């Protein structure tokens, strides 16, 4: 049997870090694609980095970018992976409204470039492919809870780019017999979550305010509802999809949904600052107060031109076919993230741009 060799794009991101660790623990040789950056972008994988000079090293990094097809072909040719996990993306929904063309290039055509690399190199029968598809495909609510058969209606350039990614994966599966699967993952978070996604923005701010290092948190739409799970558990689901005899598409979700507003309340509670929401009528701009002090304020700049109001997934197929289920509740997740941020915040400078 071939030794298991995985290639992960987006290795420096939240999911890339958890997936690398999982695959290394399972005995894989792991290759990651990282972008060139003027500052360090490997903070999340620092603990698993291995000196490439060591012969025993099983974790390797390659410079690359999803917008550069020759580079991707060369990496796939060199690594000849048994599994590719395509996690790289411009993954921020709001940023995709500002950079729609780049988002399409990386998230949509980038997926095509990798699939073409498999085909050009004749690896259709050797290399299994995982695509990081998303609940953002559902967008405007058509059905709740959302499952594999729910119609898509994306609401952002990001969602639309990922829609192309989803269908090109299905097409290469049907046209060329590639073992290619879409994981339609609902939001998943962790202490490694990017600082500008809402959960982490909230837990960081709650920690910073508790420690007297920040005055206020500015947010956008508090009414949005998300199905939030723990990233560590979701990367296991990705791996399970590629261990199946047949490729397929699966929803990974918790089946519970929570308002952004509620997550704010929990995070501040966990940071030791109980807060209470006041309606718009009482307080024109502010929602949260503690001892009369406004801690959370609404800033219209964080509203999106088109919003996804409600996400709640039905993970029944993943449970039945993969034996996958989430374990951590969103309430526990909030607590873990706040504790981690309190720890980080005690030592770190505060980022100004979130």
- Give the interface with ligand NDP as residue ranges (CB under 6 A): 9-10, 12-16, 33, 35, 37, 41, 65-67, 87-91, 106, 132, 134, 185, 187-188, 194
- When the beta carbons of 67 and 171 are compared against ligand NDP, the nearer one is 67
Interface with ligand GDR (CB under 6 A), residue from 135, 146, 181, 254: 135
Q: What is the 8-class DSSP label of residue 348?
A: S
Nearest distance in Å: CB 5, ligand NDP: 19
Q: Does 66 bind ligand GDR (CB under 6 A)?
A: no
Q: Does 107 bind ligand GDR (CB under 6 A)?
A: no
203 contact choice in ligand NDP, ligand GDR, none (CB below 5 to 8 Å, kind-dependent): none
Query: Contact at 8 Å (CB) between 154 and 142?
Result: no
DSSP, collapsed to helix, strand or coil, labels residue 96 as helix
Q: Does 160 bind ligand GDR (CB under 6 A)?
A: no
Q: Does 119 bind ligand GDR (CB under 6 A)?
A: no
318 contact choice in ligand GDR, ligand NDP, none (CB below 5 to 8 Å, kind-dependent): none
* Residue 17: closest CA among 52, 49, 58: 49
Q: How far apart are CA 349 and CA 354, in angstroms?
A: 14
# residues near ligand GDR by CB under 6 A: 21
Q: Calculate the alpha carbon distances from 46 to 40, 62, 138, 279, 285 in Å.
A: 10, 15, 35, 44, 41
Comparing every residue's Cβ against ligand GDR, the nearest one is 224
Q: Does 226 bind ligand GDR (CB under 6 A)?
A: yes
Q: Which residues are marked as active site? A: 134, 136, 158
Give me 104's structure tokens. 């399409």
* Residue 289: closest CA among 216, 204, 212, 189: 216
Query: Contact at 8 Å (CB) between 262 and 228?
Result: no
- When the beta carbons of 79 and 205 are compared against ligand GDR, the nearer one is 205
Sheet with 29-34, side-by-side order of all strands: 59-63, 29-34, 5-9, 83-86, 128-134, 180-185, 249-252
304 contact choice in ligand GDR, ligand NDP, none (CB below 5 to 8 Å, kind-dependent): ligand GDR
Q: What is the 8-class DSSP label of residue 283?
A: S
Binding part of the chain for ligand GDR, among 141-149, 213-221, 238-246, 247-255 by CB under 6 A, reads 213-221
Instruction: Indicate the burial class of 349 (C-beta count within 10 angstroms; 0-12, 13-18, 19 or more).
Output: exposed
Q: Calculate the alpha carbon distances from 171 to 67, 112, 176, 179, 181 in Å.
A: 21, 10, 8, 11, 11
Nearest distance in Å: CB 194, ligand NDP: 5
Binding site for ligand GDR (CB under 6 A): 91, 93-94, 134-136, 186-187, 196-198, 201, 219-221, 224, 226, 260, 302, 304, 307
């Amino acid at each position: 049997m071939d030794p298991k060799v995985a290639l992960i794009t987006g290795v420096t991101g939240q999911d890339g870090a958890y997936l690398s660790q999982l695959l290394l623990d399972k005995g894989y040789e792991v290759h990651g694609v990282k972008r060139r950056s003027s500052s360090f972008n490997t903070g999340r994988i620092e603990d698993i980095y291995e000196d490439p000079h060591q012969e025993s090293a099983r974790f390797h990094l390659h410079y690359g970018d999803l917008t550069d097809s020759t580079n991707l072909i060369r990496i796939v040719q060199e690594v000849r992976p048994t599994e590719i996990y395509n996690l790289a993306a411009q993954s921020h929904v709001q940023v995709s409204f500002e950079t729609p063309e780049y988002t399409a290039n990386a998230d949509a055509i980038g997926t095509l470039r990798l699939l073409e690399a498999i085909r050009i190199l004749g690896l259709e029968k050797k290399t299994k492919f995982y695509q990081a598809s998303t609940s953002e495909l559902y967008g405007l609510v058509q059905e709740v809870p959302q499952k594999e058969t729910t119609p898509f209606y994306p609401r952002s350039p990001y969602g639309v780019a990922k829609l192309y990614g989803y269908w090109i994966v299905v097409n290469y599966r049907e046209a060329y017999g590639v073992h290619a699967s879409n994981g339609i993952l609902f939001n998943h978070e962790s202490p490694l979550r990017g600082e500008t996604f809402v959960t982490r923005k909230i837990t960081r701010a709650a920690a910073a305010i508790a420690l007297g290092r920040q005055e206020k948190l500015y947010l956008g739409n508090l009414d949005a509802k998300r199905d939030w799970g723990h990233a560590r558990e979701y990367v296991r689901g990705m791996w399970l999809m590629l261990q199946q005899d047949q490729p397929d598409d699966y929803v990974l979700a918790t089946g519970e949904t929570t308002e952004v507003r509620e997550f704010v309340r929990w995070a501040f509670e966990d940071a030791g600052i109980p807060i209470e929401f006041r309606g718009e009528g009482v307080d024109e701009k502010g929602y949260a107060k503690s001892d009369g002090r406004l801690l959370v304020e609404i800033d219209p700049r964080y509203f999106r031109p088109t919003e996804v109001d409600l996400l709640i997934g039905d993970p029944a197929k993943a449970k039945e076919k993969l034996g996958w289920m989430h374990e951590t509740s969103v309430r526990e997740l909030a607590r873990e993230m706040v504790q981690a941020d309190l720890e980080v915040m005690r030592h770190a400078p505060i980022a100004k741009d979130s």
